[in-house]
Structure 1
Amino acid sequence: MKRVLGVMVGLLALTATAKPVQKPVVYELEGTKFEGVLVYDDAVKTPRPGLVLVPNWLGVNEPNVKQAVLVAGKQYVIFVTDLYGQGVRPKNPDEAAKAAGAVKGDRKLMRARVNKALDVLRTEGKAVGLDAKKLGAIGFCLGGTTVLELARSGAPVAGVVSFHGGLDAPLPAAEGALTAKVLALHGAEDPFVPPAEVKGFEEEMRKAKADWELVSYGGAVHSFTDLDANAPGQFQYDAKVAKRAYLAMNNFFAEAFAK
């Protein structure tokens, strides 16, 4: 654990004076209750950009909230999104696959839920130093797929970053509809995102006339930012690639929020 924290602390410049707050937030959409977590450093008094963070298929759990704390640092107000519903917390891959499949199989539902999370970030962030003019989204694995759907929906965000997310598009973006900048961070050897899917994503972005970038990391497979991923050739943490990816994210948002 010390090694893990050391890597992330160095990567994201989280200082020893940080006072991270993790505030549970219950909200409702179409009769279903959800529970996300608002993450911010209450020692920072100046306005900061806000990010919707959509976690991997395990949803809102302790490791994913800790990840949000480290990403937030002093730079961002983050809302960790609940895609599944209050109390739906997968405990193993089988449960995660079932919960994730229900959302991934219905892209309209996925879009509605992540757009609701964006609304919650706007509302809840007002009192904690959110700069509501600077909003974005990041996601990991299933979450990466989700933030791309947020962008495709035309949501008013400056940019979205997908970490090892799916790139398929059952509902492709129409020309001019995708106003957010897009950064897709992809493992070149990811067995779950085949070359044909990557090519399809590139073609979609071109047709949509989007402001987009795809970074393909050689040697990386799925879940390259997930510290617990340890299935060589399938799911595998890669410290070098993770560091590059987080730096790419911060540089991307520095540009996206500069305007």
Structure 2
Amino acid sequence: MTTVMTRTVEYPADGLTMTGHLALPAGTGRRPAVLLGPEGPGLSDVERRRADALAELGYVALAFDLHGGRLLADPEEMLARCLPLLADPDRLRDIGHAALDVVRAEPRTDPDRIAAVGYGTGGIVGLELGRDGVGLRAIATVNGLSTGRPGEAARIRCPVWAGVGSEDPIMPAAQRDAFSAEMQAGGVDWRLVTYGGALHAFHHPLTGEERVLPGVGPHPRHARRAWRDIVDLLAECLPLTE
């Protein structure tokens, strides 16, 4: 296993002091970078470990914050925070741009080779960065299939990969169809993978800290498959040997 260096980074966004987790690969040279966005409850050890795993592969990885250093384990509190965010693409973009500024300022980052990977709300942040015309190399979103403002998908200049559980009541067939139609109309290089039998947040292992809502639950086999799909996307669009 390669040596990974990690540190906590604080930065302002959305009127809060965000607390992200930066993971750096072994070596001293510049590397491609990945923004890693969390589910609606916010940054947890799950995303921190994923950032570390990306750094072990050779990427600079920033697991970014949504809620000013807080993990919103209570569903009502999480929805009270996230629903206004999800209704305001500009706030989501501000959160994404703030994280992007942090990772671009890291000396190990190749600022022209950055991808966004996210889960739920964090995935939608990545999509909004793409709709804002940010020059990302790839966007991956797991159970975060938003549709944007009319015409803005045409500003996405990189491949988009999306994964969703077939039994996800929060991302039902109508939402999947609307997302697909938007991507196609925008001329995006897009893929949507539906994981049979999986619920919302199927990728997220239960930690014992959260109160689980109906329609939400892990599917370990599909979680492994989705991770492999994301790593393959990064290998295609953000090769480490470029």
TM-score tier by shorter-chain length is 0.7 to 0.9
Q: What is the CA–CA distance in structure 1 between the aligned matches of 2:10 and 2:213, rounded to whole Å?
A: 37
TM-score, normalised via structure 1 length: 0.82
- Aligned residue number for residue 188 of structure 2: 210
Q: Are residue 64 (structure 1) and residue 47 (structure 2) matched? A: yes
Q: What is the CA–CA distance in structure 1 between the aligned matches of 2:214 and 2:40, rounded to whole Å?
A: 19
Pairing partner for 2:115 from 128, 133, 136: 136
- Aligned residue number for residue 110 of structure 1: 92
Q: Sort the Cα spacing of 1:188 and 1:91 in 2 relative to 1 into closer, same or farther, 3 A.
A: closer
CA-CA distance at 1:68 after TM superposition:
2.2
Q: Do 1:183 and 1:212's aligned partners in 2 also have CA atoms closer than 8 Å? A: yes
Q: What is the CA–CA distance in structure 2 between the aligned matches of 1:23 and 1:44, rounded to whole Å?
A: 16
Q: Are residue 255 (structure 1) and residue 236 (structure 2) matched? A: yes
* Secondary structure at 2:57 match in 1: coil
Q: Do 1:22 and 1:38's aligned partners in 2 also have CA atoms closer than 8 Å? A: yes
Q: Sort the Cα spacing of 1:244 and 1:27 in 2 relative to 1 into closer, same or farther, 3 A.
A: same
Q: What is the CA–CA distance in structure 1 between the aligned matches of 2:230 and 2:91, rounded to whole Å?
A: 26
Greater shift, 24-33 or 105-114, is seen at 24-33
Q: Sort the Cα spacing of 1:199 and 1:91 in 2 relative to 1 into closer, same or farther, 3 A.
A: closer
Q: What is the CA–CA distance in structure 2 between the aligned matches of 1:187 and 1:256, rounded to whole Å?
A: 24
Q: Do 2:36 and 2:47's aligned partners in 1 also have CA atoms closer than 8 Å? A: no
Q: Sort the Cα spacing of 1:19 and 1:92 in 2 relative to 1 into closer, same or farther, 3 A.
A: farther
Query: When the two structures are aligned, how many residues end up with a matched partner?
Result: 237
Q: Are residue 76 (structure 1) and residue 55 (structure 2) matched? A: no
Summarize deviations over 1:146-195 as a string: whole Å, max 9, x none: 21112111111101100121x23242443631112100011122111111
- Sequence identity percentage: 28
- Aligned residue number for residue 222 of structure 2: 241
Q: What is the CA–CA distance in structure 2 between the aligned matches of 1:33 and 1:51, rounded to whole Å?
A: 21
Q: Sort the Cα spacing of 1:232 and 1:98 in 2 relative to 1 into closer, same or farther, 3 A.
A: closer
* Secondary structure at 2:167 match in 1: coil
Q: Do 2:200 and 2:215's aligned partners in 1 also have CA atoms closer than 8 Å? A: yes
Q: Do 1:56 and 1:143's aligned partners in 2 also have CA atoms closer than 8 Å? A: yes
Pairing partner for 1:150 from 125, 129, 133: 129
TM-score, normalised via structure 2 length: 0.88
Structure 1: give runs of 5+ residues left out of the alignment: 1-14
Q: What is the CA–CA distance in structure 2 between the aligned matches of 1:247 and 1:228, rounded to whole Å?
A: 20
Read off the aligned partner of 1:95 and give its amino acid letter: E
Read off the aligned partner of 1:117 and give its amino acid letter: A
CA-CA distance at 1:46 after TM superposition:
4.2
CA-CA distance at 1:229 after TM superposition:
7.6
CA RMSD of aligned residues (A): 2.3
* Within-5 A mapping of 1:9-20: 15=1, 18-20=2-4
Q: Do 1:83 and 1:114's aligned partners in 2 also have CA atoms closer than 8 Å? A: no
Structure 2: give runs of 5+ residues left out of the alignment: none
Q: What is the CA–CA distance in structure 2 between the aligned matches of 1:26 and 1:232, rounded to whole Å?
A: 31
